[in-house]
Amino acid sequence: MEKITMSDLIKKQPLITRMMGCIWLMTAFGLWATAGFAWILDYYNITATHQHTAPFFLATVLLLGFGFRLRTKVEEINTLAICVIYFSIISLFAIISASLFPVTFVTLLFGICGAMFLISTLLALCFNINMASRWYALLLICVGWGISFVTNFTLLNSLYLWLISFCFVLLWSFIALRKINVLKLYVRNLYSAAPWTLKHCVVAGALMLYFDFVCFFWSIVMMIFELLNIRRWLQRL
């Protein structure tokens, strides 16, 4: 019996579906890479603590600089440069995550969501689910919650981690749903302008999706810090 690999399944799909599938797989790699980098950085103590905060502030400035550059010049950057930038943003965000939260917390959440994108893409390929539609976002939620349940139940995690992991799955599913139409339009326009840039479209799409998450995540962190500052100010009154 002939074996069917993931690459064979992807090649049988229409072009836009093939590109979106590759973007989701690249996103899964980015999430797992974030978890791995965060663990390595914590192991070697390359995080922002009360002794040294330079890595934290440097990572923040570089991350914002990369982001603004990408917003305006992503079409003009070649594929190799986009891969380097994607790798750099993952590394910088890993520094920020490892500095703000326990490394076990970071590896759990990003590991779950990475598996969510991988398994959802495999299921979509096997059952012919359109990966450029809202059904894929619904599939992400179902698969992500299933992985969260099994992982937290196996590790006997606290209720707090259960809730956070479920919310993290919802966050990534919402971002994917919100960006599906934008990614389809971007990929279609970019590919029609330069049909040989399939890899460029995939990496650029995954990078745009990841940075959209970074911006959303950073706004949530800033909002929490503001609420904590307001609470401290009220306690002093």
pLDDT band for position 2 (cuts 50, 70, 90): very low
CB 121 within 8 A of CB 206: no
pLDDT for position 191: 63
**pLDDT 10s digits, 78-105:** 778 888 888 888 888 888 888 888 888 8
Tokens of 95: 């520094």
Going by C-alpha positions, the residue among 184, 183, 187, 180 that lies closest to residue 137 is 180
**pLDDT 10s digits, 22-51:** 899 999 999 999 999 999 988 887 766 545
CB 110 within 8 A of CB 146: no
Distance (Å, whole) CA 13 – CA 15: 6
Q: Output the CA torsion sign for 174, 203, 70, 27.
A: positive
Averaged pLDDT score across all residues of the chain: 80
Going by C-alpha positions, the residue among 159, 164, 205, 209 that lies closest to residue 16 is 205
Residue 146 in this model has a pLDDT that exceeds 90? yes
Tokens of 168: 């993290």
Distance (Å, whole) CA 102 – CA 147: 21
**pLDDT 10s digits, 70-85:** 655 666 677 788 888 8
pLDDT for position 1: 46
pLDDT for position 107: 93
Residue boundaries of the structural domains of the chain: 19-231
Q: Comparing 19 with 30, which gets the higher pLDDT?
A: 30
Go through the chain and tell me how many residues it has: 237
Report how far apart, in Å, the C-alpha atoms of 81 and of each of 133, 156, 180, 201, 213 are: 29, 42, 24, 13, 21
Torsion of CA 219, 221, 223, 224, to 10 degrees: 170
How big, in percent rounded to 5, are the helix, strand and coil portions of the chain? 85, 0, 15
Query: In whole angstroms, what separates CA 219 from the centre of its chain?
Result: 15
- Provide, rounded to the nearest whole percent, the portion of the chain with pLDDT above 90: 30
**pLDDT 10s digits, 184-220:** 777 666 666 655 567 777 888 888 888 888 888 878 8
